[in-house]
Every structure is written in C-alpha cells, then in structure tokens.
Structure 1
Amino acid sequence: MARLYVLLFLAQVVLAASALIGCLSAEDGQVKALPRLVWVLVILFFPIVGPIAWFVAGRERPDGPLGAAGTAGSTAPAHRPVAPDDDPDFLASLDKRSRDEDRERLQRRQDDLRRREEQLRDRPDDRDRPEV
C-alpha cells in the first residue's frame, strides 16, 4: 500500500510541476480566465484540482488537430517560425546575400583576368628582340 501512495505522490508532483512550467512559460495572450499569479497559487494550493483546472480552463489550446486555437473566433497569436532556418524571409535574405557575394567574386575575377591580359599584351615579347 505504501508503494501506491508513493506512486500517487510522484504523479501529483509531476502534474503540479508540468502545470507550473506551462503556466509560467505561457505567453500573456495564452493565459485565460485568471491572472497568471492567481493560476500559480491555484496550482500550488490545490494539489490535484489546481493543475487539472490549469490544463482544462487556464490556457489556450495549442494549434493542431486536437487543439482549439485553429477554430473560428480564436484569439491565438499567429504562427511564427521557431528557428531562423524555418523563416522564409531569413532564407530569402541568405539566398540574396549569397548571390550578391557570388556576383561580386565573379566581377573581381573578371577584372583580375583583364588586368593580367593587359599586362601580357604590354610586355615585350622575346620574338620581337633582335638576335645578337
């Protein structure tokens, strides 16, 4: 019987910790019904009911097939890229910068090649000199 109590206690602690982390890391627009400080107190002082209440009524549901944020009338913030490599604007700017650098590098090489060709044309040739 003691093992069951320990297991239930651990489940309660995990539930409360996950609810606290979710509450404290939620953005301001995702906290519903009560202010964030009140939710933290509810989660801490009502061991089982508080975390369950947070998950059911205190937060916006995430986007996705099970979430309700995609329904009409939702006040969920617009989707934003998680990382720079997921942002199409950032990727387009990288592509543009790469093309500009390639164009500049090609122009420098062409200029260098013209300069070397001119030097070779201006250099006196051994065949033009009279033999001694």
Structure 2
Amino acid sequence: MPYLGLIITLLWLGCLVDVICSDEERVRHLPKLLWLMIVLLLPLAGSVLWLVLGRPQGVVEILMSKSAAEYPRPTRPVVDPEHDDDFQRRFRARVEEQRRVAQEQRQREEGNENAG
C-alpha cells in the first residue's frame, strides 16, 4: 500500500487537468468552476465525483471526430498503375535514364581498366 498516495495524487492531477481542459458547455450537472473547486478541495472524493457525474460523456469520440474534421484526407482517384498512361510514361523514362547512367558508368570503368 505504499503507492496508494501516489495513485491518488496522479488521479487527482489527471482530474484537475481534465476539468480545466473540458468545454464549459459539455460539463454535466454543475458549472465548470464549481467542479474545479470540488476536485481541488476534495482530492479523492472530488476526483471520483468528477469522473462519475461531471465529466462530459463521449469525450474520446468527440476528439476523434473533431481531429478528423479539422484534417480531411485528400481525395484522389485510385488508379491502377498498369492502366495509368502517365505513370507508365514516367516509369519508362526513369528506367531508360537508369540504363543510360549504368551504361555510362560501365564504359568509364572499362576505360579506367584499359588505361591502368
């Protein structure tokens, strides 16, 4: 039981942060300032009361939907690379460039071997 004080302190601090960060309109049963006073003055009982009675319901779902709404994913049409002419053209150009560079490198290496 030596960690009981630490657990209560962490619960208390977590509930304090939760009360402070909660939206005033979403806090249940009492005003936010009154919940803050209850949690401050009654660490264990106030924290439990906050979690059971005062904390806004569905906070995780609201945060998840809020972040999804703030950062919409870009919509691009999904195209099969084998049927995308532009992709195929760029792909062939890259392959030809790599072949050309490799051939030039081989020719330089052969030239260095013949010279040495």
Please report the TM-score for the alignment, with normalisation by the length of structure 1: 0.47
Is 1:8 matched up with 2:21?
no
Unaligned runs of 5+ in 1: 70-75, 96-132
List aligned pairs for 1:14-53, cutoff 5 A. 14-53=10-49
Task: Give the equivalent residue in structure 1 for 2:66.
Answer: 80
* Max Rg structure: 1
**What's the C-alpha RMSD, in Å, of the aligned pairs?**
2.8
Higher relative contact order (CA 8 A, sep 6+): 2
Relative to the length of structure 2, the TM-score reads 0.53
Q: Give the 3 Å change call, closer, same or farther, for CA 10–84 of structure 1 in structure 2.
A: same
Q: Which runs of 4+ in 1 moved over 6 A?
A: none
User: What does 1:61-76 correspond to in 2, within 5 Å?
Assistant: 61-62=57-58
% same residue: 23
Q: 1:47 to 1:80 in 2, by over 3 A?
A: closer
Residues in 1 aligned to 2:53 and 2:33: alpha-carbon distance in whole angstroms: 15
Q: How many residues align?
A: 75
Q: Which amino acid aligns with 2:21?
A: S
- Structure 2 regions of 5+ residues with no counterpart? 77-116
